Amino acid sequence: MEAIILAGGFGTRLSGCVSDLPKPLAPVGGRPFLHYILDYLYVNGVHRAVISTGYMAEKIENTIGNRHRGMVVDYCREDTPLGTGGAIRKALGMCREEYAVVINGDTFYDVDLFEMQKIHRESGYPITLAAKTINNVERSGFLQIENGMLTGFCEKGASGAGLINGGIYFINKNALDFIDTEKFSFEKQVLETLILPVRVFESDAYFIDIGIPEEFARADSEAEMLKSKRKRRAVFLDRDGTLNVDTHHLYRVGDFRFIDGADEAVAYLKKNGYLVTVITNQAGIAKNLYKPVDVDILHRHIDSLLCEKHSVVLDGYYYCPHHPQAVIEEYRCSCQCRKPEAGMILGAIADFSQIGIEIDTENSFTVGNRHSDLLAGINAGIKHNILVGSDEPDAADIASAYYKSLKDFSDLEQVLKL
């Protein structure tokens, strides 16, 4: 999934509380509010976010940078205000997939994006809107819905419970191209006119809008609620001989080369909702052939290649520097992280849990070309342990399946159906 975050507004209503920051960077629970939005998107399967900026754009760009966890972050800057519709259309022009999820940078609404995406794809409509039931619609107005479709908007002033626009949408890439003005309101000129059919996805998930001063104060006291929790599938991927050509103790950036199709396989898995994490033994550190910093540099290089070509990055790198016959004493041990032990995979699972991701071990994979890779997965409780391109005959005895390459594995439709 790709996402667009609308973060270009002036934040007039919140200026009395936060005057020196753009609204999405307002501090909540000791963190910029936008960090919660980015975490939410990442936990819900977004691999690339485009932040639409305007007011104080540099502060947002300098604070967030170009990566958040295993998610690429890009920017679409408004030189002059374009309205919500103009901003969305401009950002959609930077997207590479058939649709994007659009979210406001000052609202947290814990919608299950996997479920909403499914509804959007099945409906065939250009726009899907997330709607929230509230007890009193007097301040916000409410939506009229028939058979899951938006049929109208009722103005503010009515009382009682009703469905409101939650400010999260799935929008097809070219859905707004027909509008002939550069600046326009998505809400007034698209949604309220019903010029396009809109599917409604109802969710009773936690919702808060920090653009309202009293809600901003409430968000600070409820910061623990600003954490999405989802169960996710993962691929724990060996590096040398599986992802890249094994040159034996690889550490130089200039020596790195993807195995044919491996980078496309990673991108395919990421874009279809899998977390993809490298799990690799690096005994060259223990043997004093290279240092941890060299491994870190190489891994940043791998991400740069994936980002440049496919707009994805890996979700993490875990490496074991130990070896029982290490030259460097501090690395000489029989540890719990060196494969076939499960320590690195278990560590990754624990780290994901810290941000609200529960790894679905029944529907996750380890993929490698060695017996030890598969044993690490088995020892970590991963159900599917896939052997690729191996020259170890005994490894096939414990493999769930064998494929010639990572690309062959990722091409299988059954992988995505698990």
Question: Which DSSP letter does residue 14 get?
Answer: G
Q: Which one-letter amino acid corresponds to residue 398?
A: I
Q: Which one-letter amino acid corresponds to residue 311?
A: S
Is 240 known to be catalytic? Answer: yes
Bridge partners for 108 per DSSP: 208
Catalytic residue among 240, 263, 315, 373: 240
The sign of the torsion formed by the CA atoms of 368, 374, 378, 380 equals: negative
Contact 326, 286 (CB under 8 A): yes
Let me know if 62 is exposed, middle or buried by CB neighbors in 10 A (0-12, 13-18, 19+): exposed
Contact 242, 54 (CB under 8 A): no
Catalytic residue among 39, 238, 263, 315: 238
Is 296 known to be catalytic? Answer: no
Backbone angles phi, psi at 162, to 5 degrees: 180, 175
Could you give the CA distance from residue 79 to residue 56 in angstroms, rounded to a whole number?
11
First to last CA, the chain: 18
Contact 233, 363 (CB under 8 A): yes
HSE value, Cβ hemisphere, 13 Å, CA-based, for 282: 24
Could you give the CA distance from residue 252 to residue 18 in angstroms, rounded to a whole number?
47
Active-site positions read 238, 240
